[in-house]
C-alpha cells in the first residue's frame, strides 16, 4: 500500500493522505538554520545546534502523534468554522490534501469548502530564517471573509533545560512586539545576544504571545480559543510559555488569490550593541529589520527559492545516472545524495527519532557520512575533517561525539570505542581521491582543541593507526574497548544495574576482548594510509603500513576464521563471539563485509565462503540481518546487544548500515546480480509499495528494519540520520555502477546485473565532466575503455590535459 507517489521530474515525494503510518519528514536549511518538517507541518527549528539553540518547541513522543509545529489556521468569519490546511492540528476532513517534500523545501496544502490553501516552507541560502509562503485562493462563487492565524511555540533555547527546568523557566519568558513583528528574547537581558523573530507580511488584526491565553485553559492546538472566537487576545508573554501568533483578516473575491508571507528567524547582535537605546532593555533591531524587510518582499522570496533550487540542481548534477532500474535511478539521482547531505549536516543530532539533545556530531558517524557527500561539497568536507580531527586526543583516540555549536568533544558521551580513529583515515583518503587537494595533510590541527598541541593532519592519521597497534590483544587482534562499530557489543561493560547507559558506564580494563571488525577496518585503513604515504614519497613508511596490514590480515586468517565465516570477536574471557561454537549469535554480518572489503581471504575461497554464509544464514527479503541466531536473553558479558528483544536494533535487526558492506564485498568478488539484489531489498523506493509494512518514509533509508525474529519483520525505524545513506551511495555508485575516484583519475569498473544491457552516467570530477556509457556485450565484468574515441589500457581514465572540460568514456563489459 502507498500513501503517495514520487514525482521524479520535480524531485519531490508527494504524500496524498495525511495519516501516514509515522510522520514523514523533510529537512529545511543546509547551512546554519535548520528545520524538521513533517507532512502535516509538525517539527521544529534550530540554529546550528538542536540542543543549545532551539527556536521552537517540540514534544517528542507526544499524543496525538507529531503535535507541535508550524501551524496555520483558517477561519471562515461568516460561519465561524475553522480548520488547518495541513490537517494537523485540527484534523478536520480534508479535500485534496497534498504534501510535496522537495530538496530543502516542503509544500503542504488542501482545500476546504472552496478555500484552497498551500504553504511553501524553506530556508533561503545565506540567511537564518524560515520562510512560509501561504497562497490562498477562493474557489467559491461568492466572496469569502477569512481569518488567518499563524502559530509557533518558542523554545527557551536549550532544549534539554527547556524540557526539565520549569521552576526557573516559567518565570523568564520575554517578548517584544513591534510593527507586527514578534521578537522572542528570553534570557537576552543577561548572557544571550541572540533572539528569534516571527514576522508577517500583512497588517495584523491582532497577535498573541502567551500560549495559554491563545489556547485557552485546558485546550490543545486543535482548538485554540483565539481561533474559535475569531480574534486574538493581544497577549504579551511574561514568563510561562512564550509563543507567536499573528491574526490577519482578509476578504477574497470569487477566484481571487492572495499570498501571505511569514518569517521565523534567528538573529545575533554584537554583545556591546544588544540594546537600543543603550542602557535600556529594548532589543536593538537595527540589523534585524532589513533582513525582515527583504524577505517580506514577494520578489525577493521567489529569487531566494530559485537560488535554493539552482544550488540543488548543481549539487545533484555532479552525478546523474540512467540505468534500466527506476529505483536505482531515483535513489542515485535524487534522494540518496539528498539524504547524504542531511546526514553530513546533522550527523545523528535531530530527527523524529533523535531528540536533538542526546547526540551531536559523531566521530565515526561523520567520518562515514562524508563518504557520501565529499563530491557534493568538497570544501565543507575539508572543514569537517579538520573539525573532527581537532577532537582527536593525543593518544590517537577520539571523543565519540562533539557539540556542533562549540565543536568541543562531549564528555557526557562515553569514549573508548576503539574503532573511532580509523574512520578518519577513510574519510581523508576519500577526500584526497575526490579533490586531489594534498594540502589538507599539512594543515596544522590541535588535539582536543588544545592550543599549542597542533600537528599536521597527517600525523593525526599516523596516530590513528598507532592507536590500534598499541591496543592489541592475546591473538594479536585489536582490543575492542567499550565497543566497535556495533555500539552495543559491550564486551567489557558487565552492566547489571537497571537503567545504566551502556554507552557511558565505566568499562573493565579490557585487555582481552578483541574485535575482528576492527581488525578488518585496520587492514583497510592501513592500506589507505600506505597509499597516501607512498604518494608523499615516504616509501619506507608506506612499506611499514603494508606490513602491518599483512600481519593483521594473517592474524585474522589464523585466529578469526571460524570454518565457514569470519568470527566476530573474542570476549573478555577469551571465548569466541560469532562462532559455530556459540549457542546464539553464531554468525555476524560485520566481519564478513569488512574483511572481504579489506581484501582478506581472497587468495583462497574464504572470502567467497563468508559471503555464501551471509546469503544462507542472514539474508531475508527485507535485507540482511546483523547476526543469527538472535540473543534470546540478556548476557551480562555481551552487553546492550542482548538487551534488545530479538529482531530489533543491534540484536539481529536488519541494521541497514551494514548491508552495503556486503553489496560492496559481493561486487568485489564479481557478483553483480547478488550485489544489486541486496541493494534493492533495502532501497526505500523499491519498498514504497509495502509502506504499510515499512512505515517509515519511502524516500530515505532508515537505520533499522525489524529482523526475522521480530513480530514486525520488515518494519523500519529511525529514518534519516544513519550511515546507511552514505554507504549505500558508495556501494551503488562506486562498486556496482563502479565509478570510483582514485588518486590517478576516475576508475570505471562496473559490476552490474547480468541482465542489464548497460547504463549511462554523467560525473563531474575535479572540474571535468565525464560522460560515461557502459555497454554489456558478454555476461562478465571485464571492462575495456575507450576515452574520447581512443582505447586505453586499464580501467582508470587519466585526468585530461589542462583546459579540457569534457571527456567521453565508452566502457564495454564482457
Ligand atoms: C543504540 C545504538 C546507538 C547507541 C548510541 C544504542 O542504544 O542501539 O544504535 O548507536 O545507543 O546512542
Ligand atoms: C548508530 C550509531 O550512530 C553508529 O555510530 C553505530 O555504528 C551504529 N548505531 C551501530 O551500533
Residue pLDDT, tens place only, 264-299: 999 999 999 999 999 999 999 999 999 999 999 999
- Identify the pLDDT of residue 804: 98
**Residue ID of nearest Cα to ligand 1 atom 2:** 487
Using the mean position of ligand 1's atoms as its centre, give its distance from the Cα of residue 488 in Å: 7
Q: Contact, 207 vs 242, CB < 8 A? A: no
* pLDDT band with cut points at 50, 70 and 90 for residue 413: confident
Quote the DSSP letter at residue 657: G
Q: Is the CB of 650 under 6 A from ligand 2?
A: yes
Inter-residue contact 233 to 206 (CB < 8 Å)? yes
- Between CA 336 and CA 375 the distance in angstroms is 13
pLDDT (average), residues 134-145: 98
pLDDT of residue 576: 98
Pocket of ligand 1 (CB under 6 A): 359, 487-488, 503, 640, 649-650
DSSP string, 270-293: -GGG-BSSTTSSSB--TTHHHHHH
Q: Rounded to the nearest whole angstrom, what is the distance from the C-alpha of residue 469 to the centroid of ligand 1?
A: 26
Q: What angle do CA 690, 694, 696 make, to 5 degrees?
A: 120
CB count, 10 Å around CB of 615? 15
For the segment 197-226, the average pLDDT, to the nearest whole number, is: 98
What is the band of 368 on the pLDDT scale with cuts at 50, 70, 90?
A: very high
- Tell me the C-alpha distance between 173 and 175, whole Å: 7
Ligand nearest to the CA of 658: 2
The answer to whether the CB of 466 falls within 8 A of the CB of 478 is no
Q: pLDDT exceeding 90 applies to what percent of the chain? A: 97
Cβ neighbours of residue 530 under 8 Å, at least 6 residues apart? 542, 543, 545, 546, 549
Pocket test for ligand 2, best of 351, 360, 365, 658 (most atoms within 8 A of CB): 365
The stretch 376-396 carries a mean pLDDT of 97
Q: For residue 570, report the phi and psi dihedrals to the nearest 5 degrees.
A: -115, 135
Mind telling me the catalytic residues?
487
C-alpha to C-alpha distance for 353 and 683, rounded to whole angstroms: 20
pLDDT at 414 over 80: no
User: Which atom of ligand 1 is nearest the CA belonging to 644?
Assistant: 8
Atom of ligand 2 nearest to the CA of 486: 11
pLDDT tens track for 671-719? 999 999 999 999 999 999 999 999 999 999 999 999 999 999 999 999 9
pLDDT of residue 270: 97
Distance (angstroms) between ligand 1 centre and the Cα of 508 equals 20
Tell me the per-residue pLDDT of 606-644, one tens digit each, with 9 for 90 and over.
999 999 999 999 999 999 999 999 999 999 999 999 999
Q: Please determine, for residue 584, whether its predicted confidence score (pLDDT) is greater than 80.
A: yes
Q: Is the pLDDT of residue 807 over 90?
A: yes
Secondary structure (DSSP) of 13-31? EEE--S--SS--EEEE-SS
Confidence of residue 549 (pLDDT cuts 50, 70, 90): very high
pLDDT band at 406 (very low <50, low <70, confident <90, very high): confident
Measured CA to CA, the distance from residue 423 to residue 15 in angstroms comes to 37
What confidence score (pLDDT) does residue 295 get?
98
Per residue in 76-99, pLDDT (tens digit) is 999 999 999 999 999 998 899 999
Q: What is the pLDDT of residue 70?
A: 97
**pLDDT at residue 358, rounded to an integer:** 82
State the average pLDDT over residues 37-60: 97
Ligand that comes closest to the CA of residue 639: 1
Amino acid at each position: 500500500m502507498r500513501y503517495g507517489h514520487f514525482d521524479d521530474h520535480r524531485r519531490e515525494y508527494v504524500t496524498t493522505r495525511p495519516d501516514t503510518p509515522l510522520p514523514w519528514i523533510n529537512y529545511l536549511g543546509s547551512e546554519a538554520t535548520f528545520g524538521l518538517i513533517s507532512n502535516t507541518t509538525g517539527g521544529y527549528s534550530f540554529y546550528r545546534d538542536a540542543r543549545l539553540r532551539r527556536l521552537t518547541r517540540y514534544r517528542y513522543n507526544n499524543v496525538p502523534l507529531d503535535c507541535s509545529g508550524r501551524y496555520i489556521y483558517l477561519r471562515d468569519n461568516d460561519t465561524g468554522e475553522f480548520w488547518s490546511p495541513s490537517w494537523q492540528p485540527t484534523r478536520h476532513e480534508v479535500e485534496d490534501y497534498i504534501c510535496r517534500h522537495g530538496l530543502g523545501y516542503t509544500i503542504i496544502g488542501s482545500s476546504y469548502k472552496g478555500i484552497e490553501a498551500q504553504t511553501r516552507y524553506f530556508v533561503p541560502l545565506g540567511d537564518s530564517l524560515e520562510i512560509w509562503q501561504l497562497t490562498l485562493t477562493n474557489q467559491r462563487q461568492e466572496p469569502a471573509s477569512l481569518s488567518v492565524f499563524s502559530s509557533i511555540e518558542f523554545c527557551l533555547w536549550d532544549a534539554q533545560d527547556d524540557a526539565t527546568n520549569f521552576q526557573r523557566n516559567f518565570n523568564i519568558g520575554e517578548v517584544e512586539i513591534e510593527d507586527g513583528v514578534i521578537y522572542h528574547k528570553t534570557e537576552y537581558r543577561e548572557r544571550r545576544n541572540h533572539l528569534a523573530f516571527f514576522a508577517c507580511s500583512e497588517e495584523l488584526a491582532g497577535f498573541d504571545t502567551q500560549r495559554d491565553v491563545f489556547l485557552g485553559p485546558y485546550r490543545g492546538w486543535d482548538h485554540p480559543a483565539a481561533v474559535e472566537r475569531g480574534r486574538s487576545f493581544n497577549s504579551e508573554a511574561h514568563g510561562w510559555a512564550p509563543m507567536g501568533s499573528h491574526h490577519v483578516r482578509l476578504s477574497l473575491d470569487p477566484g481571487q488569490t492572495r499570498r501571505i508571507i511569514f518569517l521565523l528567524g534567528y538573529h545575533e547582535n554584537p554583545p556591546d550593541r544588544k540594546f537600543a537605546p543603550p542602557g535600556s532593555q529594548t532589543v536593538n533591531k537595527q540589523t534585524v529589520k532589513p533582513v525582515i524587510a527583504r524577505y517580506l518582499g514577494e520578489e525577493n522570496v521567489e529569487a531566494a527559492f530559485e537560488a535554493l533550487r539552482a544550488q540543488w540542481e548543481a549539487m545533484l548534477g555532479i552525478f546523474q545516472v540512467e540505468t534500466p532500474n527506476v529505483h536505482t535511478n531515483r535513489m542515485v539521482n535524487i534522494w540518496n545524495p539528498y539524504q547524504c547531505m542531511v546526514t553530513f549536516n546533522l550527523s545523528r543530532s535531530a530527527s523524529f527519532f533523535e531528540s536533538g539533545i542526546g547526540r551531536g556530531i559523531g566521530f565515526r558517524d561523520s567520518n562515514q557520512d562524508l563518504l557520501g557527500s565529499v563530491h557534493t561539497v568538497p570544501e565543507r568536507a575539508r572543514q569537517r575533517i579538520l573539525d573532527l580531527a581537532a577532537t582527536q586526543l593525543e593518544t590517537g583516540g577520539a571523543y565519540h561525539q562533539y557539540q556542533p555549536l562549540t565543536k568541543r568533544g562531549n564528555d557526557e558521551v562515553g569514549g573508548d570505542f576503539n574503532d573511532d580513529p580509523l574512520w578518519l583515515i577513510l574519510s581523508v583518503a576519500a577526500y584526497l581521491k575526490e579533490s586531489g587537494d594534498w594540502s589538507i595533510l599539512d594543515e596544522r590541527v590541535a588535539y582536543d582543541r588544545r592550543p599549542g598541541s597542533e600537528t599536521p593532519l597527517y600525523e593525526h592519521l599516523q596516530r590513528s593507526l598507532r592507536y590500534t597497534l598499541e591496543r592489541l590483544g592475546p591473538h594479536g587482534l585489536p582490543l575492542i574497548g567499550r565497543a566497535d562499530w556495533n555500539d552495543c557489543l559491550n564486551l567489557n561493560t558487565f552492566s547489571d544495574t537497571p537503567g545504566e547507559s551502556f554507552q557511558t558506564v565505566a568499562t573493565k580494563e579490557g585487555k582481552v576482548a578483541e574485535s575482528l571488525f576492527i581488525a578488518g577496518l585496520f587492514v583497510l585503513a592501513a592500506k589507505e594510509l600506505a597509499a597516501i604515504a607512498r604518494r608523499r614519497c615516504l616509501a619506507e613508511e608506506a612499506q611499514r603500513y603494508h606490513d602491518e596490514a599483512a600481519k593483521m590480515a594473517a592474524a585474522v586468517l589464523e585466529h578469526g576464521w571460524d570454518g565457514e565465516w569470519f568470527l566476530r570477536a573474542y570476549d573478555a574471557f577469551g571465548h569466541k563471539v560469532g562462532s559455530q561454537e556459540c549457542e546464539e549469535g553464531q554468525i555476524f554480518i560485520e566481519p564478513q563485509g569488512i574483511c572481504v572489503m579489506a581484501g582478506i581471504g581472497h587468495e583462497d575461497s574464504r572470502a567467497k565462503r563468508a559471503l555464501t554464509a551471509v546469503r544462507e544464514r542472514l539474508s531475508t527479503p527485507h535485507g540482511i540481518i546483523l547476526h543469527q541466531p538472535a540473543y534470546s536473553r540478556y548476557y551480562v558479558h555481551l552487553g546492550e546487544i542482548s538487551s534488545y528483544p530479538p529482531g530489533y536494533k543491534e540484536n539481529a535487526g536488519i541494521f541497514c548500515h551494514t548491508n552495503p558492506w556486503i553489496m560492496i564485498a559481493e561486487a568485489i568478488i564479481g557478483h553483480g546480480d547478488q550485489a544489486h539484489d541486496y541493494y534493492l531489498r533495502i532501497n526505500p523506493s523499491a519498498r514504497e509499495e509495502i509502506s504499510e509494512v515499512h512505515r517509515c518514509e519511502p524516500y530515505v533509508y532508515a537505520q533499522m528494519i525489524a529482523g526475522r525474529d521480530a513480530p514486525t519483520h520488515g518494519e523500519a525505524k529511525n529514518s534519516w540520520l544513519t550511515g546507511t545513506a552514505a554507504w549505500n551511495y558508495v556501494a551503488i555508485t562506486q562498486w556496482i555502477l563502479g565509478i570510483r575516484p582514485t588518486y590517478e583519475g576516475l576508475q570505471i569498473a562496473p559490476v552490474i546485473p547480468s541482465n542489464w544491457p548497460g547504463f549511462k552516467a554523467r560525473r563531474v570530477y575535479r572540474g571535468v565532466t565525464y560522460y560515461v556509457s557502459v555497454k554489456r556485450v558478454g555476461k562478465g565484468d571485464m571492462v575495456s575503455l575507450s576515452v574520447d574515441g581512443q582505447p586505453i589500457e586499464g580501467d582508470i581514465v587519466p585526468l585530461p590535459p589542462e583546459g579540457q572540460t569534457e571527456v567521453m568514456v565508452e566502457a564495454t563489459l564482457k
